[in-house]
Structures are given as C-alpha cells and as structure tokens.
A and B are shown apart, each in its own frame.
Chain A
Amino acid sequence: MESLRSQVAIVGAADTEVGVVPHLSATQLYVKAAKLALEDAGITKEQVDGLITCTSFVEPYMYHAEMIAEYMQIFPRYCLNVATGGGTTLAIMHHAASAIATGVCNTVLITMADNMLSGLSRDRAIEAMSTAGHAQFERPYGPPIPGFYALIAQAHMHAYGTTSEQLAAVAVACRKHASLNPAAQMRQPITIDDVLNSKMIAHPLHLLDCSLVSDGGAAVVMTSAERAKDFKNRPVYMLGVGEGHSHEHISQARSLTTSAAKEAGERAYAMAGLGPKDIDVAELYDCFTPVVIIELEDLGFCPKGEGGRFVEGGRIELGGELPLNTHGGLMSHCHPGHPGSLFSITEAVHQLRGECGPRQVKEAEIALVHGQGGIMSTHCSMILGKERG
C-alpha cells in the first residue's frame, strides 16, 4: 500500500476560464487547459511522454486521448482515456502515478474539459439528464439526477436527524468561498434561507442544494518526485491515494448512508501515514449538498451520523476547523461534468503553493481531495503535501 507514497508530484496545474464559455469548443477547452498547465510547469509539449484525458460528453471520440494527442501533435508512449464520472480525475491521477512510479513514462499531462452549458443542443441536454440510471429497472420510474441523490439525503436525514438547514450550510460555505474567487461562475453570497427558499427539485433537495452546469477545462502535469525538483514551480507531492468502488446503480447500493469513500479514504490515509486530523484543507466532491456530509463522515472527519452537525457554525468555511471547497466547488465555482474534480486538484495545488490570495488557507501544508462518480458509486481520495514527507 505504500508503494506510491511520495513517489510522484504535480508540477503544473491550471484552469481555463469557466462558467459560460461559448467561444471555445470542448476540444479547444481540453487543449487550452493543457497549454496553460504546460506553461505553469515551464515545459514544452515535447517533454510530455504520457497523456490522459477524460471522455467528453459534448464532443466524444472513440479514442479521445489519442484525439487530443493528435490535435496537439504530441506523440506519447502512454495514452489513456478514463471515465468513472466525477471520480475520473483522481482515478486518472492514480493511473498516472502508477505509470510514473513503475517507469512506464516520466511526465504525464492530464487534461479534462467539457462544455455542458454551451455545447449541447436541446435534445442532447435532455439526453444527458435522462440517460442516468438502469434502462429497465430505474429509468421507467422517472428519477432525475437530483432525485437519485435525494434518496441518499432522505435516508441520512431519517437515520441521523440531519436537517435541510445543515444541507444548506454546505452550499452557503461553497458560495462564500466562490465570492472570494474571481474565476468562479456564481459569486453572489447566499444564506441558509436562500437555499431553503429556492425551488424544490426533488424533496428534500432544493435548487441551491444542486451543483452548477458549466463549461470549462483544467489540466495538470505529473512527474516523479525526483524529477519534480527541476521544474519551475514548487512541486506538490502525492502522499497517498486510494479508491473504493461499490456499485453502478443506486438501487443496488450496499448502503445509502455509508459510501465507498470510507475504503478510498482509509487506503489513502494508510499510504500517506496520515489521518483526518492532519488535513489543513479539503476539496470534497459536492455535486449535491448531502454528498459532502456523507464524505465528511466516511473520510473520518467526524463520526457516522455527525456530518450534519459538523458543517454547522462555519466549521467548513475559511477560518474554520476544516475549510473545504475553497474555490467554490461544483456548487459555485463550476461543474462541466467529468472534469469537475480536477478543479479541486488545481485548487489544492494552488493552496499548497500559497497562491490563493483572499481565499488562501493559512499555513496549508496538507490537502485532501475526494472525487465521487456515478451515484455515490466510484470514489478516489488523494492526499497532497507541500513537503515530500
């Protein structure tokens, strides 16, 4: 389990403009993110020998990573496309770390983008919303995507007394952080009442319990910890990584209130030799507010059932015990689909480099990033550090 500990580092990290970006296609967003990350790393594309992408919903290609390599005229020896929904980013980085640590390749460019907001026709937007769920055993019952997560929220509220106000506190914290981030899509601060008074989508989830639909791209460059010292910026080291996979369809979930984030987190902590108390800043997957509450529990920041109480009183806001989603998260920064959690990685890198201005977490040395895909189906946790450890 310790084989990847401190073996690789992130040496470049960048986002494109996000939110409403009608002037760039999905493919162009991938390539722009890649170019920005290479510039941040201070290297040329000829120095990249591994390329990994996520699938684009808007502009899909059978061989997507090859398509981006072709477009950029990069000729990698390691080329891979990964799709595990919102868990994709971290799973990709896990693959990249394994490839680097085993000497398969030296320098991996990971680029992810999509334009779910500007790039879809009406028909494809409907398709995007209605093709989630099992074709025979779920879709006939008309569950919208927020409805799948509402099942989880309702179960958690029933089992542990979690309240709508507590769910709302997650959205409020994300928006507060977004208000300090000039790049974020939604920056106007909101209150708990604003969330509770927003339109009910699928009880108990209101409109403001749901994340955004966005355009945008992000990219990172990873290399071995040894090589990392030669790059322009201070490296950020991967101290631990772990995955957990429990189901595809929510109707088959082992539990609605405990997720495979538990296994993912335990594996990442074990590799890093660290625990929840060591984390200075957390970037947790926040497609819907209840997800954050369950992740906080499953990642060991509080006991099972205490997540609702944990997010109260500003504990998860800047200046609180565990500031999370400091860029604004999927809730308020942006959510272009698969790439969503890569913005959590770029934010964590910038936090650990101390580059976040008014939203900087003081003395941030260790960050935990968690990605979740499907309907609480695939999970990957990653612990990043300023020092190699």
Chain B
Amino acid sequence: MAAPASKPVPVPTRETQPYWEGCKQHELRIQKCPACGHHQFYPRLYCTACMSDRVEWVKASGRGKVLSFTIVYRPVTQAFAADVPYVVALITLDEGPQLMSNVVGCPPEKVQIGMPVEVTFEDWTEDISVPKFKPV
C-alpha cells in the first residue's frame, strides 16, 4: 500500500507571509487598522471596515470561543485518516475575527459551542507551524 499523501501544507504568499512568519514563532498575528481600530483575518491589502490601506500586523491574544464545530468521522483524504475522529471548528477570536481550526487537547465529545479556547501550534515543517486551539 502506498504511503498516505501528506496533509495540505500551507504555501505562504507575499500577503500572508507575516502571518506564517508569526506562526513559525508560535505567535498568532492578525491585522489591525490604526485608522478605525478594526481587526481582521485573513490578511488583506485594505481594512474591510474603512478601506484604509495602513493595516498593521499585531499579535493577537490567541484566545477565543468556539463559534461552531463538527466531529469528522470520514476523513477528507487519507492524510487525515489517522486523526479520525477530529474536530474542525470555527473560532471567534477575542479581538473579533473568526477563523477555522482544529480543537485539540480534549476528547472530541467535550467540545461545545461557546467553549473558551486558546491557540497552540503544531510544527509541520521547518517553516510552517499550524495554529490549533485547545480548551483554556
């Protein structure tokens, strides 16, 4: 049997490089607009609230709450087969933006909507660490 294909390792772009550079240092970075104070994720050229182009990178608290989640029993590809059952979740960060991640560090059936979580990092390659979330 062939070895399972590897997981989809993110390939940073010029726009997302600062985010992945932060992850490599185990630091969750999001953008903040100095003009209106809006935080946003994923990274963009402009502030989506006021269209200012002066968006800056800031270190996020790394804390948030589970907005929704699913427990996956049928993996998307063989690369995820060993992880089943795994939790795919949407997390609302304390700063406001929402993102997708996995909730790890607890049995899947313990995950609940509204549960406080904090970021943790999985080192996938020398350059890429993937942010995941665990119960606070």
Which residues of chain A have a CB within 8 Å of any CB of chain B?
A: 126, 129-130, 133-144, 146-147, 150-152, 154-155, 158, 199-205, 250-252, 256
- In this complex, which of B10, B68, B86 has the most chain A Cβ atoms within 10 angstroms of its Cβ? B68
26 contacts between A and B (CB under 8 A): A135-B10, A136-B11, A136-B13, A136-B20, A136-B42, A137-B10, A139-B8, A140-B8, A140-B9, A140-B10, A140-B130, A141-B102, A142-B7, A142-B72, A142-B75, A142-B77, A142-B80, A142-B102, A151-B90, A154-B113, A200-B73, A203-B72, A203-B85, A250-B90, A251-B90, A252-B42
List residues of B (87-129) whose CB comes within 8 Å of A's CBs: 88-90, 98-102, 113, 124
Alpha-carbon distance between A155 and B76 when the two chains are bound, in angstroms: 21
| Chain B residues, CB < 8 A from A203 | 70-73, 85
Alpha-carbon distance between A251 and B98 when the two chains are bound, in angstroms: 7
| Chain B residues, CB < 8 A from A129 | 76-77
| Chain B residues, CB < 8 A from A256 | 67-68, 90
Nearest A-chain residue to B10, judged by Cβ: A136
* Contact for B68 among A137, A151, A205, CB less than 8 A: A151
Alpha-carbon distance between A383 and B127 when the two chains are bound, in angstroms: 53
Chain B interface category by residue count: 35 or more
List residues of B (47-84) whose CB comes within 8 Å of A's CBs: 67-77, 79-80, 83
Which residues of chain B have a CB within 8 Å of any CB of chain A?
A: 7-13, 16, 20, 42, 67-77, 79-80, 83, 85-86, 88-90, 98-102, 113, 124, 130
Contact A147 B70 (CB under 8 A): yes
| Chain A residues, CB < 8 A from B98 | 251-252
Alpha-carbon distance between A155 and B90 when the two chains are bound, in angstroms: 10
Contact B10 A158 (CB under 8 A): no
Alpha-carbon distance between A142 and B70 when the two chains are bound, in angstroms: 11
* Min C-beta distance of A282 to chain B, whole Å: 27
* Given A130-B76, A141-B102, A202-B74, A152 and B8 contact (CB-CB distance below 8 Å): no
Nearest A-chain residue to B71, judged by Cβ: A203
Alpha-carbon distance between A159 and B102 when the two chains are bound, in angstroms: 22
Contact A144 B74 (CB under 8 A): yes
- In this complex, which of B13, B80, B99, B100 has the most chain A Cβ atoms within 10 angstroms of its Cβ? B100
- In this complex, which of B12, B70, B79, B85 has the most chain A Cβ atoms within 10 angstroms of its Cβ? B70
A130-B76, A158-B68, A204-B70 provided; 11 other pairs, C-beta below 8 A? A135-B8, A135-B10, A137-B100, A144-B75, A151-B89, A199-B73, A250-B100, A251-B90, A251-B98, A256-B67, A256-B90
Alpha-carbon distance between A130 and B67 when the two chains are bound, in angstroms: 23
| Chain A residues, CB < 8 A from B99 | 137, 251
| Chain A residues, CB < 8 A from B12 | 136
* Min C-beta distance of A267 to chain B, whole Å: 24
| Chain A residues, CB < 8 A from B73 | 199-203
| Chain B residues, CB < 8 A from A140 | 7-10, 124, 130
| Chain B residues, CB < 8 A from A202 | 70-74, 88
* Given A140-B130, A155-B113, A251 and B100 contact (CB-CB distance below 8 Å): yes
* Given A126-B77, A158-B68, A134 and B9 contact (CB-CB distance below 8 Å): no
| Chain B residues, CB < 8 A from A201 | 72-74
Contact B130 A151 (CB under 8 A): no
Contact A158 B75 (CB under 8 A): no
- In this complex, which of A142, A146, A252 has the most chain B Cβ atoms within 10 angstroms of its Cβ? A142
| Chain B residues, CB < 8 A from A130 | 8, 76-77
| Chain B residues, CB < 8 A from A147 | 70, 72, 76, 88
| Chain A residues, CB < 8 A from B77 | 126, 129-130, 142
Alpha-carbon distance between A329 and B114 when the two chains are bound, in angstroms: 34
Contact A143 B113 (CB under 8 A): no
| Chain B residues, CB < 8 A from A139 | 8
* Min C-beta distance of B68 to chain A, whole Å: 4
Contact A134 B42 (CB under 8 A): yes
Alpha-carbon distance between A250 and B86 when the two chains are bound, in angstroms: 18
Nearest B-chain residue to A145, judged by Cβ: B76
Alpha-carbon distance between A142 and B77 when the two chains are bound, in angstroms: 8
| Chain B residues, CB < 8 A from A146 | 74
* Min C-beta distance of B4 to chain A, whole Å: 11
Nearest A-chain residue to B9, judged by Cβ: A140
Nearest A-chain residue to B114, judged by Cβ: A158
* Min C-beta distance of B88 to chain A, whole Å: 5
* Min C-beta distance of A145 to chain B, whole Å: 8
Nearest B-chain residue to A136, judged by Cβ: B10
* Min C-beta distance of A364 to chain B, whole Å: 37
| Chain B residues, CB < 8 A from A151 | 68-70, 88-90
